[in-house]
Structure 1
């Protein structure tokens, strides 16, 4: 029987995060929402700046659906630009600040962004490529003491502070519903050309629902944002949902282990997202064992394989690192390991989020595989992307007829439904006819004494087709050779999985999201061999 009041079903509820921030500005006027070295912001100040920037952008032609880009390190300007875009119904495009010019051109041109807010440190890169883009409104951040001083004479650029100061706060706030695009975020592109992932307001909202149902999050939480906000893990795990929930975000330009440890204690941080390398570096800070971290109760680690030894180290400090798994396309979390099962299911990426379905299927038949059997991880749910921007071919290839998104990651489920990540399908090494998953080898070598960081790739080999190659960073004064690596791993891995090549590097190449840059790593391993 149809509902007599279909308009009250909630299906057309406004999910715009900017509307939530505006509400907090009315009811939590003086509450600090952003802690930042260059100056804190209250909810009233954040909402006012976003409303004024919205007027500036609107006067320049930004309307519902326009793409608005941001290029710079973490800062309040990032959040102000995002909220201003949302107020107008525009699509926010956070840009990786470490992109080389050809990559930057592909992202800016591919997004069709017409307006950009940029820091001085990245202006020249935009100038070099803007002729190939649709950019015509260029605003330069000039009022942040943490940002390089803006060049007032930069051709075509407008310092944003006088424009914001003179603009009246926009009163209009475009309502946004579940299927409306909110964020256009480009994948890291470590194994190929970046793709533009369309994340809707519904994707963003449902991830927040999943997080709040699974993790110990509360109104008024303080979250730490030291990982790059252009990455979905940092932006949508806690930072954006904290704005919507009325909490406080400690924003740092980048991750510094000593600064992070001080912040966790001083600001009594409750929630935090990070990649494994961040937590490993944090644990190496002198005095780490003596600092009071009892306020940390929702700590998610994802984005790369998590060494079990790292989880055990933090558990010894009564901090439970909760492993999660997901992608930009799942906004970001598809699975999460509840805190109470952290040590029981060591090494697992957890169970499916409350409103998300996860399966492991045979890559050829698409049929679900038995517990313990590896296969491709597929995901379905309201947090999963609507598709790739202007790329129907890639969208069609990623989804099957039943609406399952094919992640390209290999994993297996145990009898309890807990997911264990094996590796990327693309990264699998076939050596002498045997399948070798680099992540499995990396996990073993990461625990080897003296190893600081590790990557494993396949390189061409006349005898075996592909050979397993390890690229290591080791502690100062540590002498590690290929035979040492093989001897250590021999009791832990099958013989065909043992590295046949070894390359030592000062730092294992990673992108700004903390993921291994396999393209660069393969080149290093190949050159060495």
Structure 2
């Protein structure tokens, strides 16, 4: 019986028990690794598709909403057949490890078939952010990536839509393929190609260290870096996921997912997990943006996911729909066994609201969890494969991965080694060399600490980005990650996101974007409520490095061209501060403008 004030239990979920070993070193650093060895894994991802086509030929692998409201569905057998035909067409055109395939389009079944065809043909696939082609003014990032990848074929699902970006490129010797044939070769021509023995021969040649993808980082500054993703990286990462989440073997996963495939989480973690486990991926044509989240809601009325992945901004936009529509909420939780938040920590109010909906609908709590990694780690390096009561814990190293935590500026910098780690960056040997330490650990640039110094099984807590932290003029260090999350949580639900200001300044400030919930308030009332919430927040803090004294609310959304935001909606702190220096100056003016929120003690 549940006592008053006690939370209901979690829904049963088969998770591997963490068994983490800590090895201390004389220099103050220490190594963490799982005592569970990484099992054997397929040599490349095309073998996984082949195995699923044989084991479950009629299971729907991919589903996509059609303009008429129905769904286009592709089974594993159909995906394997299409991938073989596309592979033959790619081989006929001379594509290979040094002649890649570049994809400009977003998530779609056609995109997936091209990617799978690249896997079967041993052709590196480079999926590129749609925003670089459709939201950019100068196409500088598309040009940069094109010159690095040097593709022999480019797929753009809608030739007319991507016409300007394609027209800006020197396409001499590069074939363009589109779904309908507009502006290039029709995809149906590739699909009509009859596979020959050459496809089987290539399939037998592909090794685990062959390049499967080039994924491009958003980068803190400058132009994107091309991260080499090998088949070993992706396949070993999926083996680790299978070992820490044994519940995936009980019933193939069902996903409704919008996370972009040009990003490692959508394209490697989620897509490959569904493929490896023989599940079904419904491609969500919605996303967390005004006018698009409604598409996600419509899809959730028809699809009950068994795992749900989103970013904090996505949950913030979805929650009001779930809270106000009981039928939608029942459909959402009907098969749900795991709620996953990617990237930034889930603010406490969103965590509490999701948990409350789970309890109201099911009488129990659905496990909420997260992991940690990067494009360079394919992506999972740690995972919280145990129940957690709050956001912030990023889990423990997964099987096969070693973490090295080494002292750095009052924090512990965390570094990664394992079969899931990239061999380097495309065409940038100097950056590759700089990315690894003398022991071969990848320097991811994040800080972490143990949740319980005496028990590494309790997990690691994310402790911010090393490069983002700064000192105030008082000499006090400001740990940006913690301040940002705490301030957004304190202002909930009025702020969508924020960056922390204050390097070489006397106090901490925020440049912040109001949330959808703030739109119903008059500007003066919005500023008054934010000031009141931050006043309470500051009163509970112990020092100046944790208190926010001024805020400027931004009306202009983050710029893709200026690298202020990634496809997943993550804010680039450094790029925002550089581009918005005039707003930073307003924060620290001796006499601030009337619209600058000043948080005074009372």
Q: TM-score, normalised by structure 1?
A: 0.86
Contact 2:268–2:379 (CA under 8 A) maintained in structure 1: yes
Pairing 1:331–2:378 present = yes
Contact 2:42–2:48 (CA under 8 A) maintained in structure 1: no
Which residue of 1 is the match for residue 320 of structure 2?
284
After TM superposition, give the deviation of residue 44 of structure 1 in Å. Answer: 2.1
Q: 1:196 to 1:357 in 2, by over 3 A?
A: same
| C-alpha distance after superposition, 1:387-431 (max 9, x if no partner) | 111222111111112121111112222323322112222222321
Q: 2:511 aligns with which of 466, 470, 473?
A: 470
Q: 1:460 to 1:363 in 2, by over 3 A?
A: closer
Which residue of 2 is the match for residue 267 of structure 1?
303
Which residue of 2 is the match for residue 439 of structure 1?
481
Q: 1:214 to 1:290 in 2, by over 3 A?
A: same
Contact 1:34–1:249 (CA under 8 A) maintained in structure 2: yes
After TM superposition, give the deviation of residue 65 of structure 1 in Å. Answer: 4.2
Pairing 1:376–2:431 present = no
Which residue of 2 is the match for residue 502 of structure 1?
551
After TM superposition, give the deviation of residue 291 of structure 1 in Å. Answer: 2.2
* Secondary structure, counterpart of 1:422 in structure 2: strand
Which residue of 2 is the match for residue 147 of structure 1?
none
Q: 1:517 to 1:329 in 2, by over 3 A?
A: same
Q: 1:34 to 1:353 in 2, by over 3 A?
A: same
Pairing 1:455–2:498 present = yes
Contact 1:119–1:141 (CA under 8 A) maintained in structure 2: yes
Which residue of 1 is the match for residue 248 of structure 2?
217
Which residue of 2 is the match for residue 296 of structure 1?
336
* Secondary structure, counterpart of 2:130 in structure 1: coil
* Secondary structure, counterpart of 2:155 in structure 1: strand
| C-alpha distance after superposition, 1:326-352 (max 9, x if no partner) | 1111111111112x4221x54211111
Query: Matched residue pairs, number?
Result: 495
After TM superposition, give the deviation of residue 64 of structure 1 in Å. Answer: 4.1
Distance 2:540 2:482 in 1: 10
Q: 1:230 aligns with which of 262, 265, 269?
A: 262
Distance 2:147 2:140 in 1: 10
After TM superposition, give the deviation of residue 498 of structure 1 in Å. Answer: 2.7
* Secondary structure, counterpart of 2:526 in structure 1: coil
| C-alpha distance after superposition, 1:218-262 (max 9, x if no partner) | 352212221111111112222122123321111123424344345
| C-alpha distance after superposition, 1:162-216 (max 9, x if no partner) | x135321355142433222111101112433211111111110111111111123
* Secondary structure, counterpart of 2:371 in structure 1: strand
Contact 1:187–1:328 (CA under 8 A) maintained in structure 2: yes
Which residue of 1 is the match for residue 186 of structure 2?
159
Contact 2:538–2:548 (CA under 8 A) maintained in structure 1: no
Q: 1:11 to 1:526 in 2, by over 3 A?
A: closer
Which residue of 1 is the match for residue 53 of structure 2?
25
Q: Root-mean-square deviation (CA), in Å?
A: 2.7
Contact 1:52–1:165 (CA under 8 A) maintained in structure 2: yes
Q: 1:487 aligns with which of 516, 535, 542?
A: 535
Pairing 1:110–2:184 present = no
Unaligned runs of 5+ in 2: 1-37, 67-71, 359-364, 559-564, 587-602
Pairing 1:199–2:229 present = yes
After TM superposition, give the deviation of residue 499 of structure 1 in Å. Answer: 3.1
Contact 1:227–1:254 (CA under 8 A) maintained in structure 2: no
Contact 1:30–1:44 (CA under 8 A) maintained in structure 2: yes
Q: 2:581 aligns with which of 515, 526, 529?
A: 526
Q: 1:69 aligns with which of 99, 102, 113?
A: 102
After TM superposition, give the deviation of residue 508 of structure 1 in Å. Answer: 5.5
Distance 1:497 1:134 in 2: 56
Larger mean Cα displacement after TM superposition, 188-197 or 397-406: 188-197
After TM superposition, give the deviation of residue 13 of structure 1 in Å. Answer: 7.6
How does 1:49-88 map onto structure 2 within 5 Å?
49-88=82-121
